[in-house]
Structure 1
Amino acid sequence: MLDKLNPRESLGFLAWKVARLKTNDLAARFVEAGIRITVEQWRVLIPLYKMDGLTQGRLCEMLSQEKTGVSRLVAALEKRGYVRREHGKDDRRVKYIHITDAGRDLMAATMDMALANMGSREGHVDPEELAICKKVLWEIVEPTIDEGCFLQEEE
């Protein structure tokens, strides 16, 4: 039975493996630059950098992650001074997350690394085939995506 679980034929395995490889590459870039943050923590900063003051619940939706996991990531970022949490004025159970100046500085310092990492691991792949791969993956993902995940910076 296990012989039917061929990793070459498993979209889930292949997507997971590529994601892990690229995450590890970006983590190595951070370490090499002396930046002490995990890629998972850094990813929390992206939507906050684009749209400060998201509720913790909204941040969970945008990151497609569970509340407890995001809460831990936010707590670690808060401890390092990259974000701050504020209770809602009308409902103290609602927490708004704000990126700090230190968080913005961190994003600015890591942007080139992240952009360089986007092209890592792909140099040996035919550009046309890579474009098809991205198109097909997007067709699978797009129906599940909340457009708020892709907020654009104001121009």
Structure 2
Amino acid sequence: MLFEKLKPRESLGFLSWKVSRLMTNDLAGLFASADIDVTVEQWRALIPLYKLDGLSQGELCELLSQEKTGVSRLVAALEKRGYVRREACENDRRIKYLYITDKGRELLEATVDIAVNNRDRLTQHVDPEELAICKRVLWQIIEPTLDCSCESHND
């Protein structure tokens, strides 16, 4: 009786989480089969740095909607692989600025088509008009939660 109230087929949270997991798991499999040495989560963290090099680690946390400790681990792994470099702020050594390396840029450029093809493959059976409506509705939920400084990061 308790779980009947949850109605997963009607739960926006469950449905959006499930779609996200399906797409992430498929992309992870594609990366693994192509011998790409990065997790999907690490790959996603490179995208804002590609667009806005020199973000602080705190800004990256906000853009990724993730906790500091998780982003710190992502950045450490990316740094270890040579995809990003960290620089301490001159005025406040606690603040770290993140810069994507040439190797990180090359990785994104080499893998973006894999991600786009994965997305297109997973949505190919969905009516394009309905998919457009779904995206608009999700943005209607997301946009009011964005702070003004993040809006330009979503292009």
TM range (shorter): over 0.9
- 1:33 alignment partner AA: A
Q: What displacement does 1:2 show? A: 1.9
**What's the % identity of the aligned pairs?**
68
The residue number in structure 2 matching 1:100 is 101
Structure 1 segments unaligned to the other structure (5+ residues): none
Q: Tell me the secondary structure at the aligned position of residue 98 of structure 1.
A: strand
Q: Partner of 2:151 in structure 1? A: 147
Superposition deviation, residue 6 in structure 1: 1.3
Calculate the aligned-residue CA RMSD, in Å: 1.2
Runs of 4+ in 1 over 4 A off after TM superposition: none
Cα distance, 1:149 vs. partner?
A: 2.7
Q: For the residues of structure 2 that align with 1:112 and 1:24, how far apart are their CA atoms?
A: 16
2-structure distance, mates of 1:149, 1:39 = 19
Residues 35-84 of structure 1: CA deviation (Å, up to 9, x unaligned): 01100000110010111111101111111111110000000001111111
Scaled by the length of structure 2, the TM-score of the pair is 0.92
- Residue 52 of structure 1 corresponds to 53
Unaligned runs of 5+ in 2: none
2 CA distance for matches of 1:51 and 1:16?
Answer: 27
Offset of residue 20 of structure 1: 0.4
1:132 equivalenced with 2:133 (yes/no): yes
Structure with the larger helix share:
2
Which structure is richer in relative contact order (CA contacts within 8 A, separation 6 or more)?
Answer: 1
Which amino acid is the alignment partner of residue 56 of structure 1? Q
Partners of 1:31 and 1:109 in 2: how far apart?
14
TM-score when normalising by structure 1: 0.92
